Amino acid sequence: MTDRQHIYEGKAKTLFFHDDNTLIQYFKDDATAFNKKKHEIINSKGVLNNYISEFIFKYLEENGIENHFIKRLNDREQLIKKVEIIPVEVIIRNIAAGTLTKRLGVEEGSKLKKTLIEFTLKNDDLGDPIVSEEHIEVLEYAKKDEIQEMKTQALAINKLLLDLFSSINIQLVDFKIEFGRLGQEQKVILADEISPDSCRLWDKFSSKKLDKDRFRKNLGGLIDAYKEVATRLGITI
């Protein structure tokens, strides 16, 4: 990797230049939580996330959700379309968990009346604060029509993922996604990754956590949980 042109270094992934229209996305073994206050290297986590994200992005593409994924290159790398990332994260919640329970005192595990969409600003220094649609528009992080497009796609993605995970007896509690602008048309498409790093996934019957909460909450067994998700999805690594 040392001879490649480094484009971006994230908490769990690194982006490298490939050509004018594509990048290489490298999945790292870093596990972080609480805005990097907790950090460990967990062997093979990046490999599992690469395969799981590949599976999910291909599934979404097959079901009408355009995204940046082109192909998996090896155990840790994907070839992706180059996009201009919109600097907000979109959080889709089906069941109360995580920061929602801490901020608003909602009991963890409570089923929400309807799917809840939240936005946070992608800024580690500020702790990724929650922002409103008006913040996003007024501060020019995204245009009004782009915000609506992200919401529309987020709900469509949620429906598809609810169906997918329900079929393997997993509850999709919540998940985080990012979008980018593609090409001169600035078309808004799904980017980044979808994996147990970015989703809360609970076993349908036992509520066992099969996601990064195993790291956040010192539960242990993160790799076994990610492997279980991959196995249930029918992924061979």
pLDDT for 2 equals: 54
Q: What is the CATH number of domain 6-83?
A: 3.30.200.20
188 touches 136 (CB < 8 A): no
Q: Can you say whether residue 107 is alpha, beta or left, with left for phi > 0 and alpha for psi between -120 and 50 degrees?
A: beta
Q: Encode pLDDT of 26-56 as tens digits.
A: 999 999 998 778 999 999 999 999 999 999 9
219 touches 204 (CB < 8 A): no
Question: What are the residue boundaries of the structural domains of the chain, listed by start?
Answer: 6-83, 84-221
**Range 57-70 burial, b when 16+ CB lie within 10 A, else e:** bebbeeeebebbbb
The pair of three-digit structure tokens given for residue 146, joined into one six-digit string:
């782009």
Which CB contacts under 8 angstroms, 24+ apart, belong to 99-107?
A: 100/174
Average pLDDT over residues 67-81: 98
Q: Encode pLDDT of 131-167 as tens digits.
A: 999 999 999 999 999 999 999 999 999 999 999 999 9
User: Measured between alpha carbons, how far is 58 from 51 in angstroms, rounded to an integer?
Assistant: 11
User: Measured between alpha carbons, how far is 226 from 197 in angstroms, rounded to an integer?
Assistant: 9
The answer to whether 6-83 and 84-221 have equal CATH topology is no
Average pLDDT over residues 65-94: 98
- Give me the percent of the chain exceeding a pLDDT of 90: 96
Q: What is the CATH number of domain 84-221?
A: 3.30.470.20
pLDDT for 36 equals: 75
Average pLDDT, the chain: 97
235 touches 52 (CB < 8 A): yes
pLDDT for 35 equals: 77
Q: Encode pLDDT of 177-225 as tens digits.
A: 999 999 999 999 999 999 999 999 999 999 999 999 999 999 999 999 9
pLDDT for 3 equals: 76
Q: How far is CA 195 from the centre of its chain?
A: 6
| pLDDT at 113 exceeding the cut of 80 | yes
Q: Is the pTM of this model over 0.85?
A: yes
pLDDT for 37 equals: 83
